C-alpha cells in the first residue's frame, strides 16, 4: 500500500506544477496580448495623427494660396462653406468675416476633395488689420507718458475698451427670465488699465509709475506685491509675446472685461498699414469685409472730443482730424456698403469708395487713412480629424499686397502652432 500512496503524492505534485505553469502561461499570454493590443492601437493612433496632421497642413497651404490669389473670391468661397453647414439660416444670412464663429463645425464628407477619409471642420480665417496693437503703446525706443504720441494711443485705447459691455453679476436667487444687465467701463477705470499696461511694457526697471496731467497713475512693482502667487511676480518691462499675458497685469482681471473681448479687439502683432509720415504700422479696417456695426465700432475708436482729450486740451496740433469720421460713423457705414442688382456686395477700390462716401459731408476724401480694400494680416485656425484623432493649426500670417490687392511677395508666418 505504501508504493501506491507515493505514486498518488507524486501525481498531486505534478498536477500542481502543471496548473502553476498553465497559470503563468495564461498571465504571460494575457500580458502579451495586452501589450500587443496597446502597440497596435498606438500604431493606429500614430497613423491617424499623421494623416490628420497631413490634412490640416494641406488645408493651411491651400488657404494661403487662396488668400494670396484673390481675397474676395476666397471669402465668397468661405461663405459657401458656412452655408453648407447650415449655420447661415433665413434669419442669419450674413456671416461676420472680421468676427467669425469660434465654434468650428464638421463639414459633410466629400465637401473638400481629396480629404474624403478625414473630417474637416469649418476654417476660422479672420482679417486682423483693424485690431488695436497693445505693443504699440510702447515702442523699442520708448514713448514717454503724457507725450503727444501717448495721448493718441491713450485716447484710442479708452475709446475702444469703453465700448465693451460687461455683464453685471446679480445678487441673490435669479429666475431664468431675469434680463441680463450690462455696464461699461468709466473713464477712470479704462484709463487705469491703459496706465497699468504702459508700465508693464515700458523698459524702465522700477521708477515712478505712469502719470499724466489729469491724475491717472499706473502700476509699477509695488502694485504686484499683494498678488497671491507662489513666486514673486515681476513686471515684464518689454513687449507682450502672447495676448494672454495681459491677465497678469494689475486691474485686468478685476475690470470684468471678458477675455474673449480682448481677443476680439486687441492684438500683440504689428498689424495694419505702414504710415508714410511716421513709418509706424497703423490699424486699418477692411471696408470690403466689415459689416455696418463693425465699421461704426471701428470709427468710434477715433473720437477726439472725449472727456480725456478735453481735459488735456484736445489732440496734438499735427494730429489728423478724425472727429468727423466718429460723428458720421453710421452714415459712412450706410454709404460704404452697397449691393448690385444681383444682391452681391460691391467691392470697393479707392475711386469707388471716394464716390460712395461723397454723400457724407465734411469727412473729405482721404479715406485710406482709415480703410483698406484688401487685408494683409490674418488669424487662422484649422482642424481636421481622422478616426477620432484631431490635429489643429493656429497661425498669424502676413500676406503683403500691392495696390490692386495682388500678392506682392511671399507670405510671412508670424506665429505657428501645430498640435
Instruction: Please give the Cα distance from 51 to 351 (Å, whole number).
Output: 47
Question: For the ranges 12-16, 255-259, 400-404, which has the lowest average pLDDT?
Answer: 12-16
Instruction: Please give the Cα distance from 57 to 63 (Å, whole number).
Output: 10
Residue 306: pLDDT band (50, 70, 90) is confident
Cβ–Cβ < 8 Å for 308, 152: no
Q: What is the pLDDT of residue 91?
A: 41
Q: Which three cell numbers stand for residue 122?
A: 469649418
Q: Which three cell numbers stand for residue 372?
A: 483698406
Beta bridge partners of 72: none
Q: Which three cell numbers stand for residue 270?
A: 504689428
Radius of gyration (C-alpha) of the chain in whole angstroms: 30
With a CB cutoff of 8 Å and minimum separation 6, the contacts of 212 are 145, 146, 150, 154, 195, 312
Q: Which three cell numbers stand for residue 205?
A: 526697471
For 30-40, write each residue's pLDDT tens digit. Answer: 666 666 666 66
Left (φ > 0), alpha (ψ -120 to 50) or beta: where does 388 sit? left
Instruction: Please give the Cα distance from 225 to 167 (Å, whole number).
Output: 29
Q: In the predicted model, is pLDDT for residue 276 greater than 60? A: yes
* Residue 388: count of CB within 10 angstroms of its CB: 9
3-state secondary structure of 77: helix
| More confidently predicted of 412 and 409 | 412
| More confidently predicted of 224 and 175 | 224
Cβ–Cβ < 8 Å for 335, 295: no
For 155-174, write each residue's pLDDT tens digit. Answer: 999 999 999 999 888 776 66
Q: What percent of the chain has pLDDT over 70?
A: 82
Cβ–Cβ < 8 Å for 252, 193: yes
Q: What is the pLDDT of residue 205?
A: 67
Rounded to 5°, the CA angle 312-315-320 comes to: 175
Average pLDDT over residues 130-151: 86
For 390-399, write each residue's pLDDT tens digit. Answer: 999 999 999 9
Q: What is the pLDDT of residue 301?
A: 93
On average, the pLDDT of the chain sits at 83
With a CB cutoff of 8 Å and minimum separation 6, the contacts of 145 are 198, 210, 211, 212, 218
| More confidently predicted of 320 and 87 | 320
3-state secondary structure of 122: coil
Strands 371-372 and 285-286: parallel
* Residue 243: count of CB within 10 angstroms of its CB: 17
Cβ–Cβ < 8 Å for 237, 204: yes
Q: In the predicted model, is pLDDT for residue 405 greater than 50? A: yes
3-state secondary structure of 111: coil
Average pLDDT over residues 227-247: 77
Average pLDDT over residues 207-223: 80
Question: For the ranges 114-123, 190-199, 254-263, which has the lowest average pLDDT?
Answer: 114-123
Instruction: Please give the Cα distance from 15 to 282 (Å, whole number).
Output: 88
User: DSSP characters for 339-379?
Assistant: B-TTSPBPPP-HHHHHHHGGGSTTS-S-GGGTEESS--EEE
What does the domain layout of the chain look like in residue ranges? 2-128+377-418, 137-167+181-262+310-365
Strands 182-183 and 285-286: unpaired
pTM to 2 decimal places: 0.84
Instruction: Please give the Cα distance from 396 to 394 (Å, whole number).
Output: 7
Amino acid at each position: 500500500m505504501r508504493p501506491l500512496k507515493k505514486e498518488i503524492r507524486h501525481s498531486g505534485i505534478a498536477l500542481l506544477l502543471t496548473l502553476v505553469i498553465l497559470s503563468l502561461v495564461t498571465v504571460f499570454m494575457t500580458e502579451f496580448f495586452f501589450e500587443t493590443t496597446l502597440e497596435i492601437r498606438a500604431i493606429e493612433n500614430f497613423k491617424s495623427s499623421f494623416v490628420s496632421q497631413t490634412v490640416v497642413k494641406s488645408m493651411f497651404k491651400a488657404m494661403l494660396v487662396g488668400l494670396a490669389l484673390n481675397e474676395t473670391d476666397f471669402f465668397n468661397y468661405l461663405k459657401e462653406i458656412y452655408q453648407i453647414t447650415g449655420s447661415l439660416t433665413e434669419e442669419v444670412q450674413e456671416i461676420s468675416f472680421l468676427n467669425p464663429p469660434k465654434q468650428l463645425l464638421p463639414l459633410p464628407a466629400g465637401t473638400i476633395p481629396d480629404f474624403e477619409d478625414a473630417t474637416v471642420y469649418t476654417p476660422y480665417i479672420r482679417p486682423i488689420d483693424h485690431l488695436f496693437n497693445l505693443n504699440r503703446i510702447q515702442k523699442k525706443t520708448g514713448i514717454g507718458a503724457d507725450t503727444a504720441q501717448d495721448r493718441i494711443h491713450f485716447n484710442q485705447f479708452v475709446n475702444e475698451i469703453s465700448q465693451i459691455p460687461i455683464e453685471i453679476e446679480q445678487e441673490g436667487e435669479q429666475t431664468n427670465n431675469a434680463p441680463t444687465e450690462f455696464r461699461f467701463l468709466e473713464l477712470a477705470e479704462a484709463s487705469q488699465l491703459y496706465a497699468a499696461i504702459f508700465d508693464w511694457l515700458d523698459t524702465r526697471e522700477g521708477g515712478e509709475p505712469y502719470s499724466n496731467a489729469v491724475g491717472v497713475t499706473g502700476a509699477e512693482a509695488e502694485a504686484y506685491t499683494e498678488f497671491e502667487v507662489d513666486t514673486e511676480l515681476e513686471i515684464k518691462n518689454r513687449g507682450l509675446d502672447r495676448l494672454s499675458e495681459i491677465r497678469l497685469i494689475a486691474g485686468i482681471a478685476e475690470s470684468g472685461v471678458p477675455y474673449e473681448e480682448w481677443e476680439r479687439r486687441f492684438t500683440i502683432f504689428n498689424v495694419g498699414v505702414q504710415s508714410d509720415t511716421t513709418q509706424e504700422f497703423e490699424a486699418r479696417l477692411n471696408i470690403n469685409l466689415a459689416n455696418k456695426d463693425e465699421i461704426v465700432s471701428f470709427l468710434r475708436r477715433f473720437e477726439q472730443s472725449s472727456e480725456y482729450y478735453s481735459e488735456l486740451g484736445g489732440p496734438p496740433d499735427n494730429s489728423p482730424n478724425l472727429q468727423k469720421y466718429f460723428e458720421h460713423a453710421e452714415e459712412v457705414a450706410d454709404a460704404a456698403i452697397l449691393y448690385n442688382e444681383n444682391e452681391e456686395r460691391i467691392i470697393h477700390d479707392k475711386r469707388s469708395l471716394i464716390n460712395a462716401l461723397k454723400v457724407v459731408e465734411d469727412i473729405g476724401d482721404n479715406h485710406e487713412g482709415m480703410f483698406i480694400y484688401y487685408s494683409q494680416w490674418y488669424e487662422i485656425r484649422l482642424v481636421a480629424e481622422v478616426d477620432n484623432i484631431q490635429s489643429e493649426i493656429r497661425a498669424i500670417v502676413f500676406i503683403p499686397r500691392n495696390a490692386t490687392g495682388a500678392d506682392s511677395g511671399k507670405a510671412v508666418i508670424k506665429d505657428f502652432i501645430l498640435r
